[in-house]
Amino acid sequence: MHKIVRKEQLNKEICLVEFEAQDLASVCAPGQFVVLRIDEQGERFPLTLYDWDTKKGTATVVCQAVGVSTKKLCALNKGDAILDVAGPLGHATNTKNIGKVICIGGGVGTAEAYPIAKGMGKNGNDVTVIIGARSKDIVICEKEIREFCNKVYITTDDGTYGQKGFVTDVLKGLLEKDAPDLVFAIGPAIMMKKVAEMTKEKNIKTLVSLNSIMIDGTGMCGGCRVISGGKVKFACVDGPEFDAHQVDFDDLVQRGKRYNKKEKEALKRYNKTCRIGLDEGNTK
């Protein structure tokens, strides 16, 4: 059991959860993830580590409530506990001796780009961050990123904040000015695909972090397989970081959809049971 010591709602759908995890907190590195299980009926699902505090013995994840599991996590509060946390998993990102780097975070991916950008900044690299969101009220982690980075660009689809458009619009301009040594993109598959297409033309090394559906996170199930360089790889043990120019994004998108129908069914049931709980609460 991992007691939650901090819970913050970052926007309507996305929350931050800091929980006790003494042994885990002392070994985390940027780019790694944990596999969580909220309760006895729960799924195992991966979340990228957002932050960790060795002294306090805590780890933090940022989670967007989209399916049953993520909704369950976001419904927990300070003082509640997460049943299982396993990690840190996956290879850590190399944050040293890179030079000029552009980190791109789209949506909840901004929180996943945060520890990588921060780690790279800390190690003396020249870091630029591009944050992409649909609208102003759902931009996350801006303040935290500005704490270590003074080159922050924001784009919103509807133009309510920062530049109107997509992260690739900003990226295009930046690439024209001065090519970086590395582009790191984390966000929706389609965003990562577009970034990869743009940087491939200019032959700029680009990494993406893939958040596939997985169970154990240690290579045993093979559910997280992705295609990189024409070969099948496991996101959990071979990744989660991959060369963006090698990844088959269409395969990634397709495989990401394999439980959509079931998820809808589960969500319907979850919302219904939640509603029952709420209604009961109201009558008391």
Partner 1 sequence: MREQNPKERIKNFKEVPYGYTKEEAIAEAARCLQCKTSPCVKGCPVEINIPKFILAIKEERFKDAIKIIKETNNLPAVCGRVCPQEDQCEKVCVLAKAGKPINIGSLERFAADWGMKNKNFEGKKNISANNNAARVAVIGSGPAGLTCASDLARKGCKVTIFEALHKPGGVLTYGIPEFRLPKDIVLDEVLSIAESGVEMKYNYIIGKIKTIEGLRKEGYKAFFIASGAGLPHFMNIPGENLNGVYSANEFLTRVNLMKAYKFPEYDTPINVGKKVAVVGAGNVAMDSARSALRLGAEKVYVVYRRTEQEMPARIDEIHHTQEEGIEFHLLTSPIKIIGNSDGDVKKIVCLKNKLGKPDPSGRRRPVRIDGSEFEMEMDTVIIAIGNGPNPVLLETVDGLKLNRRGNIEADEKTCKTSLKDVFAGGDIVTGAATVIAAMGAGKNAARSIDNFLQR
DSSP secondary structure letter of residue 282: H
Residues within window 233-272 making contact with partner 1, judged by CB under 8 A: 234, 237, 251, 254-255, 257-259, 262-263, 265-266, 269
As a whole number of angstroms, the distance between CA 127 and CA 121 comes to 6
Residues within window 165-224 making contact with partner 1, judged by CB under 8 A: 215-216, 218-223
**Per the structure block, which two tokens stand in for 123?**
């190690």
Min dist CB 43 to partner 1, Å, is: 4
Among 37, 100, 136, 205, binds partner 1 (CB under 8 A): 37
As a whole number of angstroms, the distance between CA 4 and CA 275 comes to 24
Residue 68 in contact with partner 1, rule: CB under 8 A: yes
As a whole number of angstroms, the distance between CA 24 and CA 28 comes to 6
Residue 27 in contact with partner 1, rule: CB under 8 A: yes
Residue 53 in contact with partner 1, rule: CB under 8 A: no
Residue 23 in contact with partner 1, rule: CB under 8 A: yes
Residues within window 79-118 making contact with partner 1, judged by CB under 8 A: 83-89
Residue 29 in contact with partner 1, rule: CB under 8 A: no
Binding-residue total with partner 1 (CB under 8 A):
42
For residue 117, give Cα distances in angstroms to 7, 159, 180, 219, 269.
23, 25, 14, 27, 39
Residue 57 in contact with partner 1, rule: CB under 8 A: no
Min dist CB 243 to partner 1, Å, is: 18
Beta strands in the chain (DSSP E): 2-9, 14-20, 33-37, 45-53, 58-64, 81-82, 84-89, 100-106, 126-133, 152-156, 163-164, 182-186, 206-209, 225-228, 231-234, 241-243
Residue 24 in contact with partner 1, rule: CB under 8 A: yes
As a whole number of angstroms, the distance between CA 150 and CA 218 comes to 37
Among 131, 225, 239, 241, binds partner 1 (CB under 8 A): 225
Residue pair 212/227 in contact by the 8 Å Cβ criterion: no
Min dist CB 254 to partner 1, Å, is: 4
Residue pair 114/106 in contact by the 8 Å Cβ criterion: no
Among 48, 64, 69, 128, binds partner 1 (CB under 8 A): 69
Sequential DSSP letters for 66-83: -SHHHHHHHH--TT-EES
Binding stretches for partner 1 (CB under 8 A): 23-24, 27, 37, 41-44, 68-69, 72, 83-89, 215-216, 218-223, 225, 227, 232, 234, 237, 251, 254-255, 257-259, 262-263, 265-266, 269
